Amino acid sequence: MPTLDDRIYALISRYTELTTRNELDWQTTQHPDRFWADVPPDNAVSVESSAGGYPYTFTIYSRDSAETEYPDWAPVETIHTLGPADRVGPWDEPIRTLFMAARMQALDIGGTVARMLEGIGVDPEAVPPKPAVDDDIPF
């Protein structure tokens, strides 16, 4: 039987997939490095970073009358990453990946870059792929 951690890991992975397909609507918050999404059936989630980097946090919210930054929502579970200075935990990469996808979507970074390219006369759909990086470092 799957553990609670297994199920939360599955949630994070699925939310990342939905976000990259623009099927999960992330919003900005008062905190510049926290992003929020309403999720079915009657919950919400947030992802947050510390000044744009580690540690990252994933929080699940449920409707409640608790006094929080988000009226009518109360946190029910929070997962923190350990970060690169500590040993890497199983949550680090999935939560970081979800944070980056949520940030890109909530701030419309792709749309902003496309509009900037159009502003200088470049069709964003005709841009060639960036050069491949050779990360095989000879010693």
What pLDDT, on a 0 to 100 scale, did the predictor assign at position 91? 75
Contact 67, 37 (CB under 8 A): no
Number of domains in the chain: 1
Contacts of 88 (CB under 8 A, 6+ apart): 82
For 28-66, what is each residue's pLDDT tens digit? 999 989 999 999 888 899 999 987 677 888 999 887 645
Q: Is residue 87 scored above 90 in pLDDT?
A: no
In a domain, 26, yes or no: yes
Contact 30, 12 (CB under 8 A): no
In a domain, 76, yes or no: yes
For 100-135, what is each residue's pLDDT tens digit? 999 999 999 999 999 999 999 999 999 988 887 766
Domain hosting residue 86, numbered range: 4-125
In a domain, 18, yes or no: yes
In a domain, 130, yes or no: no
> How distant, in Å, are the alpha carbons of 18, 28, 137 from that of 74?
23, 18, 49
In a domain, 31, yes or no: yes
In a domain, 136, yes or no: no
Residues in the chain: 139
